[in-house]
Amino acid sequence: MIALLDTNVIIRFLTADKNPKYKNLHSFFSSLENGEMRVEFKLIVLFQVVFVLKSFYKVPKENMASFIIA
């Protein structure tokens, strides 16, 4: 079974949220990067991430791609 990656998880990671609930996100994404875990990433989640970063966090459209890739 492969888990689905949620919009909130990505947003919390990208914005470096200090909420204790999300304190292990760095190790989670490191596990993904190292191939120790697998998740499914739906296209709608990417759209939601872009929408939240643009509307709530006011990330300029010009910086959106580099912000997400980084």
pLDDT digits (tens, 9 = 90+) for 1-43: 788 999 999 998 888 877 787 778 888 888 888 999 899 999 9
Q: Which two tokens stand for residue 32?
A: 């993904």
Alpha helices by DSSP H, listed for the chain, are: 7-14, 25-33, 43-55, 64-69
Overall number of domains in the chain = 1
Range of the domain at 17: 3-69
Q: Which two tokens stand for residue 65?
A: 């791609």
User: What value does the mean pLDDT take over residues 46-57?
Assistant: 93
pTM check: above 0.85:
no
Residue 47 is predicted with a pLDDT of: 93
